[in-house]
Amino acid sequence: MAEALDRFPNSLWAKTAAAMDASPSLVEDISCDVTIVGAGFTGLRAALALAEAGSRVVVIDAGDVGWGASGRTGGQVNPMLPFNGPDQLQKLLGPTYFERLTDVSLNSADELFALIRRYNIDCDARQHGWLRVDHCQKVREVSWRNAQNWNRFGAGMTQVTGPELLRLSGSPAYQSGILAPKGGAVQPMSLVRGLARASLEAGAQIFGRTAALRLEQSGGPWTVHTQGGRIRSEWVILATNGYSDGLLSGLSRTVMPLVSIQIATDPLSEAQIGAILPDGQTISDTRRVIMYARREPGNQMVFGGMGRQLPSGEIIGFDWLVRDATRIFPRLANVQWKYRWGGCIALTEDRLPHLHEPKKGLIAGLGYNGRGVAMSHVMGRVLAERVLGARPESLPFPISSVRRMPFRSVQMMGMGTAVWWMRLQDRLEVSHG
């Protein structure tokens, strides 16, 4: 997806974020210790840790700070890996990495909120919990069983049903769900800009409108070629996630870019918003084509789900979101959804984050599968630790080869049909209870 951020001038995050001047473009050849490609959560978290450790760090982005997924995300801080329950995760990873990844994922929200407090980042951060609600009875038993298994590792999740769920959610559409108390929300554009400021204060340099065109290694150091100049460094970190391109051969084919879209209102009156999410939790459901929603401190409603990008570049699916929001929160039937925007997330084959180190001094972290707000900060920290000398076998993520996702091209061509089919299955399950 190559569109500029200003293609979405009606993004609520872009309108309400803390102001920040545009980053300068690179116009000369420079040298540093570490070059980071991608000025989002992953890249800037790594930059902050490296700069504070004394490394000379340069961050570049084809757009600017928060141009990609970090500035377009739903901003929900969900402390649990998606898709894989504990049993499946242990089979995929083995006991050592299962325990490590479980620990960092379940504590990822706490880690992020502690980071926000440490650097005094003004991003409407709140940690009031996350409701993951069951769309049908069949899912209810699996969800609770997985929650109980996660609780063995300190997740603290509770099952919520009936009147209490109705009170917490404000939605009559669900009969059961799981409350994860460590979950929360942030204003994502404000957060990524706050990370950028902290990184600059620590000594990092950030260049916007500076696309990495080519990677080259000769005799040890790496050279990143851009349209305005070259950057020489001992290490290069690729932090491009769903916006990965051909800079590292094969990297973009390790993930499936999916389009996450959102709609939002201006501030609503108490009569309009009523009892929707009165205690400040975020909410998402268990459908294949999920919804996620939140009530902002200023009484704006934000509602998100899956969209689709046409070959022309146009993003569609917003009308479906409006209908879905009305079904789940009937009292929103007549509100105006003024803001509409979207961006790419990255889905991996095994639904786990991937850490790659294909050559000496070259490392990449990506693939958060819809949990990027929290897990990208963990990945950024881990990337910095590796650059600073941590042994690969000590990291919470196993270092894996850059391997193409099977049948990726076929899946991408059939994405429209696949989304239609998943929605039909969801609808049938909802209608049957």
What b-and-e string marks burial along 75-107, b requiring 16 or more CB atoms within 10 Å of the CB? bbbbbbbbebbbeebbeebeeebbebbbebbbb
Domain residue ranges of the chain, discontinuous segments joined by +: 5-73+189-254+350-411
Indicate if the pLDDT at residue 8 is higher than 70: no
Q: Please tell me the predicted confidence (pLDDT) of residue 433.
A: 63
Write the Ramachandran bin of 352: left for phi over 0, alpha for psi from -120 to 50, otherwise beta.
beta
**For residues 105-111, average pLDDT:** 97
406 phi and psi, to 5 degrees?
-60, 140
Q: Please tell me the predicted confidence (pLDDT) of residue 47.
A: 98
**For residues 3-26, average pLDDT:** 80
Indicate if the pLDDT at residue 207 is higher than 50: yes
User: Is residue 86 very low, low, confident or very high in pLDDT (cuts 50, 70, 90)?
Assistant: confident
Q: What is the spatial distance between Cα 40 and Cα 62, in angstroms, rounded to a whole number?
A: 11
Write the Ramachandran bin of 66: left for phi over 0, alpha for psi from -120 to 50, otherwise beta.
left
Q: Please tell me the predicted confidence (pLDDT) of residue 219.
A: 80
Query: CA dist 354 to 168, 203, 271, 332, 372, Å?
Result: 35, 28, 45, 39, 12
What is the architecture, at CATH level 2, of domain 5-73+189-254+350-411? 3-Layer(bba) Sandwich (3.50)
- For residue 248, give every residue at least 6 positions away whose Cβ sits within 8 Å of its Cβ, in sequence order, or none: 215, 238, 358, 362, 364, 402
Q: What is the spatial distance between Cα 185 and Cα 129, in angstroms, rounded to a whole number?
A: 9
Q: What is the spatial distance between Cα 225 and Cα 211, in angstroms, rounded to a whole number?
A: 9
Query: CA dist 368 to 85, 130, 352, 377, 421, Å?
Result: 16, 18, 7, 11, 24
Q: Which of 179, 190, 241 shows the shortest CA–CA distance to 370?
A: 241
Mean pLDDT of the chain: 93
Q: Please tell me the predicted confidence (pLDDT) of residue 5.
A: 39
**For residues 377-385, average pLDDT:** 98
What is the C-alpha end-to-end distance of the chain, expressed in Å? 38
Least confident residue range of 17-21, 162-166, 217-221, 383-387: 217-221
**DSSP state string for 217-249:** ESSS-EEEEESS-EEEESEEEE--GGG--SSST
Q: Please tell me the predicted confidence (pLDDT) of residue 371.
A: 93
Q: Name the most confidently modeled range: 220-229, 311-320, 342-351.
A: 220-229
Q: What is the spatial distance between Cα 411 and Cα 391, in angstroms, rounded to a whole number?
A: 36
| Tokens found for residue 143 | 């969800």
Indicate if the pLDDT at residue 325 is higher than 90: yes
* Neighbour tally for 119: CB within 10 Å: 15
Alpha-carbon radius of gyration of the chain: 21
User: Is residue 210 very low, low, confident or very high in pLDDT (cuts 50, 70, 90)?
Assistant: very high
Contact 183, 282 (CB under 8 A): yes
* DSSP helix, strand, coil percent of the chain (3-state; round to 5): 35, 25, 40
| Tokens found for residue 241 | 């996630």
Least confident residue range of 21-35, 201-215, 218-232, 402-416: 402-416
Q: What is the spatial distance between Cα 87 and Cα 311, in angstroms, rounded to a whole number?
A: 39
- For residue 11, give every residue at least 6 positions away whose Cβ sits within 8 Å of its Cβ, in sequence order, or none: 5, 71, 72, 189, 339, 341
User: Is residue 249 very low, low, confident or very high in pLDDT (cuts 50, 70, 90)?
Assistant: very high
* H-only helix segments in 3-134: 12-16, 41-52, 86-106, 108-118
What proportion of the chain, given as a percentage, has pLDDT over 70?
97
Least confident residue range of 48-57, 175-184, 205-214, 337-346: 337-346
Indicate if the pLDDT at residue 321 is higher than 90: yes
Q: What is the spatial distance between Cα 433 and Cα 134, in angstroms, rounded to a whole number?
A: 10
Q: Please tell me the predicted confidence (pLDDT) of residue 312.
A: 83
